[in-house]
Amino acid sequence: MPKLRLVTVFLLLPLGRSLAGGWEDGIVLEGDREDAGMVVSSPYAGSGAPTTEQFEQLPAESEPVVTSPTAASTAYPTGPYDDGQTWCQATSAPLSEGLAQPAIAPCCPPRPHARWSFRSDALLLWRNAPSSRPIYSNVVPDTEELGSTALNANDLNSDVLVAPRLSLFRTDCDGQTLEATYLYAGNFFSERSLPYSPNGYATSPPGIYGNNWGPPDTNLDSANAQLLGQLQSLEFNARHCIWADTCQFLVGARWLQWNETLQMNDSFFYTDPTPISGQDFYETRCFNNLWGGQIGLDTLLLGRPGMARVEGLVKAGAYYNATGQASRFKYVLSDGYNFENQARADGLAACSFVGEVGLTAVLPICCNWDFRCGYFGLWLTNLAQPTKQLSDQDISQFDSVAGLNSAGSVILQGLSLGLEGRW
């Protein structure tokens, strides 16, 4: 047994020296940290190894305090950056955790001195068709009765449109953000045609601008309709971070313009009293200028700040709508006879509602760039639309009585693809 104890002592001596060396290497003294610019708390003054007198001055239960780089203080520096800009303590993460990107980029910049954010999106949009209004009907062969509807206003769905949207954000150290966003959607185009069918069509009641063509007078052979729409939007918002900087409440002013044009024509041919052919041309242009205010929320739905995430946006506002419409009817015969008449109406101010929603997936590309892909939807109500003006006015060779109907609505929706940069 004495021999076994002696062997154990010799084995433990090297291990003790190794542990003591590791302990001494792990102690970082104040003098050693001066070059790194880090402040370290030490239980004794001066530099170098503690003396016996210094250990005797410490409480009996206390032990030497060891500070490692990973346990350094996370307090923010109070001095400026090299570029002279101050540290945004309110919107930054601790240094030991890295400078996290924000849930919503303008809310908390990826770097403390990043003040500006810019977004550029391409929107792939469709517009919904107008509400139902029969325009042309089929004529039952060998009769003078109208059959099923051949062309309805709700058949005029638009083709896809690519629209640019640009946004600029300015954020201060308190997390307050100012936003300016512009959107332009050129021409939403839709066209529908009826194939040639001798005496196969007629205008659906109550006609177009009060004109009824069909049995027992003049049946129509073909028809065509084109609908065009145009949107512009400019908004200025103030954003404030709430809910631990994962959501922004926004309030601002917005201007929207929705212009729409309907063009239609049909052809006819009759032999009594002499063979003659002709065409009818219809055109209605509607104007909507909306001015008002909005509120909304832009928030983090899934994920973490600075990583792949999903953001949600909702806006709602009330608007003053200055509406107007101008319509024209032209009648042309092959023998040279023709006439044209028109009417125009400007309505009183209408109150319109505008709602916007968005759902966006954000994928960080690098520290200051994100790729954004998602859904965009915009809903406008109480609009003047061309198909709503077909029944509310009379335009003929001898009469012109204008009207204005502002009970229309439109939904624009589609995909958004874009980039966001911060500096």
pTM of the model: 0.72
- Report the C-alpha gap between 31 and 47 in whole angstroms: 6
Helix, strand and coil percent figures for the chain, each rounded to 5: 10, 50, 35
Confidence grade of residue 238 (pLDDT, cut at 50, 70, 90) = very high
Q: Which tops the pLDDT comparison, 80 or 364?
A: 364
Give the pLDDT score at 173.
77
Q: Which tops the pLDDT comparison, 198 or 71?
A: 198
> For 1, which DSSP code?
-
Where b means 16+ CB within 10 Å and e means fewer, 287-318 reads: bbbbebebebbbbbeeeebbeebebbbbbebe
- Which of 158, 231, 165 lies closest to 190, judged by CA? 158
Question: Is the pLDDT assigned to residue 7 strictly greater than 70?
Answer: no
Least confident of 60-64, 178-182, 197-201: 60-64
- Which of 281, 258, 284, 285 lies closest to 188, judged by CA? 258
Using only C-alpha atoms, what is the Rg of the chain?
A: 37
Question: Is the pLDDT assigned to residue 84 strictly greater than 60?
Answer: no
Q: Find the distance separating the first CA and the last CA of the chain, reported in whole Å.
A: 74
- Report the C-alpha gap between 164 and 122 in whole angstroms: 5
- Report the C-alpha gap between 102 and 123 in whole angstroms: 24
Give the pLDDT score at 114.
57
Question: Is the pLDDT assigned to residue 107 strictly greater than 80?
Answer: no
Question: Is the pLDDT assigned to residue 360 strictly greater than 50?
Answer: yes
- Report the C-alpha gap between 173 and 113 in whole angstroms: 9
> What proportion of the chain, given as a percentage, has pLDDT over 70?
73
Q: Please write the tens of the pLDDT for every residue from 147-175.
A: 999 999 999 999 899 999 999 999 887 77
- Report the C-alpha gap between 316 and 378 in whole angstroms: 10
Give start and end residues of each alpha helix (H) in 229-341: none
Give the pLDDT score at 367.
81
Spatial CB neighbours of 239, under 8 Å, sequence gap ≥ 6: 106, 107, 169, 176, 177, 178, 179, 248, 249, 250, 298
Give the pLDDT score at 296.
97
Give the pLDDT score at 317.
97
State the average pLDDT over residues 88-101.
Answer: 38
- Whether 132 contacts 423, CB under 8 Å: no
- Whether 107 contacts 241, CB under 8 Å: yes
**Could you give the angle at the alpha carbon of 388 between the alpha carbons of 132 and 402, nearest 5°?**
155
Give the pLDDT score at 392.
85
Confidence grade of residue 304 (pLDDT, cut at 50, 70, 90) = confident
Distinct helix (H) and strand (E) counts, the chain: 3, 16
- Domains delineated in the chain: 2-73 (no CATH), 116-422 (2.40.128)
- Report the C-alpha gap between 324 and 285 in whole angstroms: 8
Mean of pLDDT over the chain: 79
Give the pLDDT score at 347.
80
> What proportion of the chain, given as a percentage, has pLDDT over 90?
57
